[in-house]
Amino acid sequence: MKVYLDYNATTPLDERVIEAMKDAMQRYPANPSSLHSQGQEARIAIENARRILADSINAEPDEIIFTGSGTESDNLAIHGALRAYKKKGNHLIVSKIEHPAVYNTAKALKDYGFDVDFVGVDSEGRVIIDELKSLIKDTTVIVSIMHANNEIGTIQDLKSIVELCHSKGVLVHTDAVQSYGKIKIDVKDLGVDFLSTSAHKIYGPKGIGMLYKKNGVAILPVIHGGHHEKGLRPGTYATHNIIGFSEAVKITMNEMEEENKRLSSMITYLREGIKNRISHIKINSPQKNVLPNTLNVSIEFVEGESLLLELDMKGIALSTGSACASGSLEPSHVLLAIGVPVEIAHGSLRISIGKYTRKEDIDYFLEELPKVVERLRKMSPLYNQ
């Protein structure tokens, strides 16, 4: 049996997206920037896709910039704003639980001489607003706080963060790569200046992302080239990816409400199932204001990597932290930031489900996990004490 429980790493393509992409590849071979009618047909398709993406977050079409990934959107917003507002200062604040796309961008900027602060979070992963307030200074250009965390699922109170930052004249970027398509997003209501998303987390293609940039705020490009996307993100349009993205958005937004109810109840079933079957565990995901599909759990006296490999042999795919962190034996910076002790953080699993997950998948996982844990614990001198 093959069970996929790693939807936060990426999602499989929806069949309807594949069809839309195949059709786009055949129908629009021309360069959308070409002035001839074949080019313009492709251009019209891209502008329709842009409108669909804009509508999905209550933005205007000219506030949407196509990029090559969520990572690129994050980089464009942060580097771009720091470049555009150089006269104001060089201070950036990000949270301690950001995805590497933001976290490592901030660390690199610090190495390049920028003034960077990392704001802490509480035990549920929520940004400590008073700490954020105390970090903001006259030179702060931008604050980047993720909408929902990819490892534990915590959703931030972005409206309060935006309110605070705007009252001090500071811009706000949010990495919404994990929340997009899982919870409703309205940029006008949230008030953010920049918001990043990515197609491959919502059953769309890999290699296409989007940055929302509020009209009236500025960025400078990080890639230089032609005039695409008003010169802010040059490079020939990947027509099929853009159309695949918009198809995925249409489908996901339509199905989101119903799907969330199903996912939430499966996560409850999963959480209770783990609690009832395995001792010495710690649930790291909060119960409220959390993504409907994510459950992070630490299992004491076992190594996350060993768990992952043993489960993999049973056909079960999941992560120990963020997929990008796998391959490293460092415990997750997110779990450490919420106060999970290092030795416990080492034995953590991130289970993330999606629209193709069935109850049978969860039952199979709940049957196999205790056996694997028991076998590994038998080898642990600490457990046997």
Q: Which of 56, 198, 252, 294 binds ligand PLP (CB under 6 A)?
A: 198
Alpha-carbon span 167 to 191, nearest angstrom: 12
Q: Give the interface size with ligand PLP as a residue count (CB under 6 A).
A: 13
Task: Pick the closer one to ligand PLP by CB: 80 or 209.
Answer: 209
* Two structure tokens written together for 228: 């695409």
Give the position of tokens 């997110």: 334
Residue 297 and residue 366 in contact, taking contact as beta carbons nearer than 8 Å:
no
E strands present in 169-293: 171-175, 194-198, 209-213, 281-283
Helical pair 37-56 and 239-277, crossing angle rounded to 10 deg: 30
Q: Is 324 a catalytic residue?
A: yes
Nearest CA to 152 out of 265, 44, 287, 325 is that of: 287
Query: Which DSSP category does 7 fall into?
Result: T
Nearest CA to 101 out of 201, 218, 203, 1 is that of: 201
Q: How far is the CB of 378 from ligand PLP (least distance, A)?
A: 34
Q: Is 70 one of the binding residues for ligand PLP (CB under 6 A)?
A: yes
Q: Is 154 one of the binding residues for ligand PLP (CB under 6 A)?
A: no
What single letter denotes the amino acid at residue 307?
Answer: L
Task: Pick the closer one to ligand PLP by CB: 56 or 178.
Answer: 178
Q: How far is the CB of 219 from ligand PLP (least distance, A)?
A: 18
**Among residues 84, 324, 336, 366, which one is catalytic?**
324
Q: Is 6 one of the binding residues for ligand PLP (CB under 6 A)?
A: no
Task: Pick the closer one to ligand PLP by CB: 202 or 345.
Answer: 202
Task: Pick the closer one to ligand PLP by CB: 94 or 136.
Answer: 94
Residue 293 and residue 270 in contact, taking contact as beta carbons nearer than 8 Å:
no
Q: Which of 79, 99, 173, 213 binds ligand PLP (CB under 6 A)?
A: 99
Q: Which of 106, 177, 210, 351 binds ligand PLP (CB under 6 A)?
A: 177
Task: Pick the closer one to ligand PLP by CB: 77 or 373.
Answer: 77
- Catalytic annotation, residues: 324
Please give the residue ranges that form the binding site for ligand PLP (CB under 6 A). Answer: 69-71, 99, 101, 146, 150, 175, 177-178, 198, 200, 209
